[in-house]
Amino acid sequence: MVHVAVTSGGVERRGSALIDSGFAAGNLFIAVAGEDLPADRRAMVRVWLTDTDGSRVFRGEGKRIDCAAVRPADDGLRLVHADAGAAVYQRLSALPRIRWASTSRVVDDGQARVAALDRGVPTGTVLLEAAGLPTAQGRPAEVRVLEDAPEHIRVAVEAKGRGYLVVADSIVRPGWRATVDGKAVPVVHGNHAFAAIPVPEGEHVVALEYVAPGLALGVAVTVGSLLLSAAAVLVPTSARRRRRRTAQTDRHELP
């Protein structure tokens, strides 16, 4: 493993890459999540090896290794994590995962819906797959996420008109259910693969919760089985107690 640490302006960022015996000669590129480092200052670079068998020869002069910086491109992406050769980028233009759609449009054909998304859909628009759903009224809303857990989401919405809360998760499947102020509402497909929940005008709390399908039935069956087992134990015990009381009564009545 080869490691690199870049320090500039008192800020240090690190990266690493795996190398093995088959590593070919040439330039070695190591990603460092350092796009926030000052670009107008000199940087100090440290390089070291760990868990590497054999020798490695790096080009340089004296104790200095030849290295150069590859500056980030203005492509709408930011490198946010780099480790062991893996890199994770953030798309700066990505919409919030939980957002408000003030307008809606029905596109009932799947291929046409995907084509429309590929061409680009306005930020505040959600594509629905079925008619008969409430039509968004084109008014804005303030959205505040109260809770965002793997199986439970709560969002406060203050809407100037009817619209949709869009959650960019694939949760339109059995087990997920939604409520607005505690009242059940449908969870429908929004933008083909995501979820959309119709929300009326006003201040509301939208909740999404996952309950495993069949859980209630399973609990009922388990409770019923336990009650039957308890009854099977209690009935013979009660019968034995009655027989003992009867026998004791018969003994007391003997002359």
Last residue of a domain, one of 170, 189, 210: 210
| Digit-coded pLDDT (tens) for 37-47 | 887 788 899 98
Q: Is 67 helix (H, G, I), strand (E, B) or coil?
A: coil
Say yes or no: 80 and 108 in one domain.
no
How far apart CA 61 and CA 63 sit, in angstroms, is 6
| Digit-coded pLDDT (tens) for 145-190 | 999 999 999 999 999 999 999 999 999 999 999 999 999 999 999 9
Average pLDDT value for the chain: 85
Q: What is the CATH number of the domain that holds 176?
A: 2.60.420
Q: Which residue has the higher pLDDT, 253 or 156?
A: 156
Task: Please give the pLDDT value at position 67.
Answer: 84
Q: Which residue has the higher pLDDT, 73 or 254?
A: 73
Decide if 217 is inside a domain: no
Decide if 254 is inside a domain: no
How far apart CA 144 and CA 158 sit, in angstroms, is 9
Q: Give the mean pLDDT of 114-120.
A: 94
Decide if 233 is inside a domain: no
Contact between 187 and 177 under an 8 Å Cβ cutoff? The reply is yes
Tell me 86's DSSP state. E
Taking only Cα atoms into account, the Rg of the chain, rounded to an integer number of angstroms, comes to 33
Q: What is the pTM of this model?
A: 0.63
Contact between 148 and 90 under an 8 Å Cβ cutoff? The reply is no
Last residue of a domain, one of 91, 114, 132: 91
Task: Please give the pLDDT value at position 214.
Answer: 67
**Selection from 59-63, 70-74, 115-119, 246-250 with the highest mean pLDDT:** 115-119
Say yes or no: 85 and 104 in one domain.
no
**What domain count does the chain have?**
2
The CA distances from residue 206 to 16, 18, 191, in Å, are 43, 46, 19
How far apart CA 5 and CA 12 sit, in angstroms, is 7
Decide if 175 is inside a domain: yes
How far apart CA 60 and CA 226 sit, in angstroms, is 76
How far apart CA 45 and CA 79 sit, in angstroms, is 18
Say yes or no: 113 and 40 in one domain.
no
**Selection from 5-9, 65-69, 162-166, 209-213 with the highest mean pLDDT:** 162-166
Structural domain containing residue 68:
2-91
Last residue of a domain, one of 38, 71, 91: 91
